[in-house]
Structure 1
Amino acid sequence: MHALVTNDDGIDSPGVHLLARVAAEAGLEVTLAAPDQDHSGSSASMTALLHGNRLAVRERRLPGVGAVRALAVGASPALIAFAGARGAFGPRPDVVLSGVNRGPNTGTAVLHSGTVGAALTGTLHGLPGLAVSLAGSADPAAEHAWATAEEVARRALRWTLGLAPGPVVVNVNVPDVPPERLRGLRPARLAPFGAVQVEVGETGEDFVALTFRESPDGPAPGTDDALLREGWATVTLLRPPAEAPGADYPGLDGA
């Protein structure tokens, strides 16, 4: 199997190096194609710095990833997944792996995540995906957090590859705890929004003040946000955009 590995933190993030290494150790043929700069919060945006119709791609040598081919791409993660699914970076992949993101991607706020957006873009081409995110500050010096993320990513990848092939994203969030304090992996439903809320403050003639903070309300029991805080790694299956089941359109007839 061929895996396309990407992220939204950029090609120099230790998280994407970790995920590429885990995929290679699992026996996958890996191409790491990640943005050349941070694209956090880019959702599934299709943005790039083009010269004519040419996408900027530069081969890189990365420490700790072995012989994995690594490319720095001047594009958002979703556009990388879109182009990669069409063979832009080598053979068409069998799976899209995205992360490991610095910071959780929980709740319905996954809509805004570039990490999840890349994996969801792969599903539009019939490819399964795995998106992995690490809660907390994810400081590169916090070795315990990355060790836990590596253990969870390894287990989640095995589970993902064992699923029936098809367009589904396995969204995984890892708690910021040492491996010995990890309680395990649990399925979880999406929280009503996510771990971070945005408040609009003072407004002026040429500015609006925004504050990002944790939700003042406790997370709903059984949701990904709640289980993550309890020391569980959470697993939530996501489907690509689709029509609302059973939808009707009152008032449109003859409009």
Structure 2
Amino acid sequence: MRLLISNDDGIFSTGVRTLANTLAAAGHDITVVCPDRERSATGHGLTLHKPIRADVMESIFAPEVKAWACSGTPSDCVKLALGALLDRSPELVLSGINHGSNLGTDVLYSGTVSAAMEGAIEGIGGIAFSLTSHTGEDFQPAADFARSLVAHLDRHPLPRAMLLNVNIPAVPAAELAGVKLTRQGLRRYIDSFEKRVDPRGKTYYWLAGELLEDIPQPPLEFATVAAASFDPADLQWMSTLETDVQAIRQNFITLTPLQYNLTCASGLAGLRDLKLE
């Protein structure tokens, strides 16, 4: 398959190198376009007020991998690749392997997820891969799962352009409990801003925070049109699925389908009789 790979950890990260080389060794046509430095937590930001530069990178990846370092955000990287660098459209847009999880509401801030979502916006399936550790350095089990998933999608393509958000526990392959299809969960943090003073006497703030564990997970929200076509048994099954936040604690690889349409169906229903003057 023709695969475009990006990330938010930067072109020199171990995660993207392991992913690209593993998939190239499996016979896929790989193009890598990544930020030239770490651009974590940039969300779906775009560069609009200065030029974007891209430099060909050599000797980082396997010889058959084509690679560019881009001065922009993860979303810039995918847009630039699709609009200027590639001769043909890829069959999938992959992002990662991120150094750290992207679970629950983390996806709203994640550059990793946003790069893969850019593929879905352009009508191309996307997959975001994240290793659930900021310190672990063994990306091979995650890359091996990516190879298996891409091989499956080569035989059984995604039913429509969507994003699959994949989180892989940072444990040895033998300790993985399996793979679970999950729904997006909820993560909350106790945010705190440390007030500091720089050497010139100017005040600045450093965002810190603590993850809150074991918070109640939200019910599944259905899009109005899609819900109308579901069989009641399907609706019941989906409502009982664990969230990615829950399943990852049991050492399952989590696979969560996401979409860029953020319409709140219950909100539409609740506002149906709203009268504005």
Give TM-score, length-normalised by structure 1.
Answer: 0.85
Q: How does 1:151-166 map onto structure 2 within 5 Å?
A: 151-161=144-154, 162-164=156-158, 166=160
Tell me how many residue pairs correspond in the alignment.
Answer: 244
Q: CA deviation at 1:123?
A: 1.0
Match of 2:191 among 189, 196, 199: 199
Aligned residue for 2:128?
A: 131
Q: CA deviation at 1:233?
A: 0.7
For residues 49 and 90 of structure 1, the distance between their equivalents in structure 2, rounded to whole angstroms, comes to 26
Q: Deviations over 1:116-162 (max 9, x none)?
A: 0011111111010010000112443xxxx322212222222233442
Q: Secondary structure at the match of 1:132?
A: strand
Structure whose alpha-carbon radius of gyration is higher: 2
Q: CA deviation at 1:81?
A: 1.2
Letter of the 1:168 counterpart: M
Q: Secondary structure at the match of 2:139?
A: helix
Question: Which stretch of structure 1 is more off in the superposition, 8-17 or 222-231?
Answer: 222-231
Aligned residue for 2:248?
A: 228
Distance 1:219 1:26, change over 3 A: farther
Aligned residue for 1:17?
A: 17
Letter of the 2:150 counterpart: L
- Percent identical residues: 30
Does 2:75 correspond to 1:81?
Answer: no
Distance 1:44 1:12, change over 3 A: same
Q: Greater share of helix residues, 1 or 2?
A: 2
Q: Deviations over 1:24-70 (max 9, x none)?
A: 2343211111000100001111127844xxx2111112445231011
In structure 1, stretches of 5+ residues that fail to align are: none
For residues 201 and 75 of structure 1, the distance between their equivalents in structure 2, rounded to whole angstroms, comes to 27
Q: CA deviation at 1:241?
A: 2.4
Letter of the 1:79 counterpart: D
Q: CA deviation at 1:164?
A: 3.3
Distance 1:148 1:210, change over 3 A: same
Match of 2:275 among 240, 251, 255: 251
For residues 48 and 74 of structure 1, the distance between their equivalents in structure 2, rounded to whole angstroms, comes to 12
Q: CA deviation at 1:245?
A: 4.3
Aligned residue for 1:146?
A: 139
Q: Secondary structure at the match of 1:156?
A: helix
Does 2:233 correspond to 1:240?
Answer: no
For residues 160 and 82 of structure 2, the distance between their equivalents in structure 1, rounded to whole angstroms, comes to 14
In structure 2, stretches of 5+ residues that fail to align are: 197-201, 218-240
For residues 201 and 39 of structure 1, the distance between their equivalents in structure 2, rounded to whole angstroms, comes to 20
Report if the CA contact (8 A) 2:194-2:208 is conserved: no
Letter of the 1:213 counterpart: E
Letter of the 2:254 counterpart: T
Match of 2:118 among 118, 121, 127: 121
Q: Secondary structure at the match of 1:115?
A: helix
Aligned residue for 2:210?
A: 213
Distance 1:138 1:201, change over 3 A: closer
Does 2:197 correspond to 1:173?
Answer: no
For residues 235 and 94 of structure 1, the distance between their equivalents in structure 2, rounded to whole angstroms, comes to 19
Give TM-score, length-normalised by structure 2.
Answer: 0.78
Q: CA deviation at 1:202?
A: 6.0
Distance 1:106 1:127, change over 3 A: same
Report if the CA contact (8 A) 2:116-2:128 is conserved: yes
For residues 183 and 217 of structure 1, the distance between their equivalents in structure 2, rounded to whole angstroms, comes to 20
Q: CA RMSD in A?
A: 2.6
Aligned residue for 1:185?
A: 179
